[in-house]
Amino acid sequence: MVTQIGLIGLGKMGFPLAQNMIANGFEVYTHDLLPGLLERAREAGLKAYKDTDALLAQLSGRKVLWLMIPAGPAVDHAIEKLLPQLQPGDILIDGGNSYFEDSVRRYRYLAERQIDFLDCGTSGGVGGARHGVCTMIGGKPEVFAYCEKLFQTISVPDGYLYTGEAGSGHYVKMIHNGIEYGMMQAIGEGFEMLHKSRYELDLKAVANVWNHGSVIRSWLIELAGNALGKDPHLSGLRGIVNASGEGQWTVETALREGISIPVITLSLLMRYRSQEGDTFSGKLLAALRREFGGHQVQVKEGGKG
């Protein structure tokens, strides 16, 4: 059974996750490349080390290392840095938002070196990381069984699932995030209609009543209400919405597998659109509508109508 954990990555999810593990009785040793994050961890009472060799020296028996770092090359770099210090049977858990095909590749690469690997989709936000996450875990069943108490303990009740073979945990998390894109887009559009309606609506109150018994009650609606309570017109924000990668991977996977997901796809495209503002393609569509249908267009000050 797992009692010691080496956690690498003390960012917005890794730091509270380490606190979660410690609060649940695990012996946790942490590492990050950024001195400021190490200092914050130490001030909070965490055992934090500036290099992985010092961290690994604290772990005995079958080592369990949890990576909570950005997806992509950083994960491969961390694995290569750790490998010389690992023994056959040691376990690496990638708890970040890695692309599932990368997780399959890493599983095979590590298996050739007799290192076990679990891909763990982690959801719940910063608050969840501290008080109880939702985890989706792929990999060998016996490796999951060895770590199951860890996943059970740091997750909310009924909030962890062994999803099957390598890559499946991150695949399920990818689809989760694609669904999230679509839900957020629908919520944003709905509240924009409420905001622009002829009625003087208290949007926070609308969100609150929807979250008491309605079909669309959800945490996202709750968060929308919280945001609208702080700033009813959201006047302090710009409408730029970043796409962190999982939505794009979901769409690319659907295209490759011939699966129609129009809502998720459009929600991703709307995020790209939000980066651009007044786009050339938008101007061209307006011009075409004027050309073939005589439709009016809005012009900038000093422009030609």
- Please report the sign of the dihedral spanned by the C-alpha atoms of residue 237, residue 238, residue 243, residue 247: positive
Confidence of residue 243 (pLDDT cuts 50, 70, 90): confident
> When comparing pLDDT for 194 and 235, which is higher?
194
Confidence of residue 267 (pLDDT cuts 50, 70, 90): very high
pLDDT for res 301: 55
Question: Does 19 score more than 80 pLDDT?
Answer: yes
Cα 217 from Cα 202, distance rounded (Å): 17
At residue 197, φ and ψ (nearest 5 deg) are -75, 170
Check if the beta carbon of residue 122 is closer than 8 Å to that of residue 129: yes
Confidence of residue 168 (pLDDT cuts 50, 70, 90): very high
CATH topology match: 4-166 vs 173-279 = no
What type of residue sits at position 73? P
Q: Per mean pLDDT, which range of 57-61, 233-237, 285-289 is the poorest?
A: 285-289
pLDDT for res 67: 98
Q: Which pTM value belongs to this model?
A: 0.90
Domain spanning 4-166, CATH class:
alpha beta
Both tokens of residue 239? 């409408």
Confidence of residue 237 (pLDDT cuts 50, 70, 90): confident
Angle between helix 100-111 and helix 73-82 axes, rounded to 10 deg: 20
Mean pLDDT of 72-85: 96
Mean pLDDT of 284-292: 64
Superfamily (CATH) of domain 173-279? N-(1-d-carboxylethyl)-l-norvaline Dehydrogenase; domain 2 (1.10.1040.10)
Average pLDDT, the chain: 91
Question: Does 166 score more than 90 pLDDT?
Answer: yes
Indicate the domain borders of the chain.
4-166, 173-279
pLDDT for res 303: 52
Nearest alpha carbon to residue 128 among 98, 96, 156, 97 = 156
Catalytically active residues are: 173, 180
Confidence of residue 296 (pLDDT cuts 50, 70, 90): low
CA distances from 124 to 72, 194, 272, 305 (A): 21, 28, 24, 50
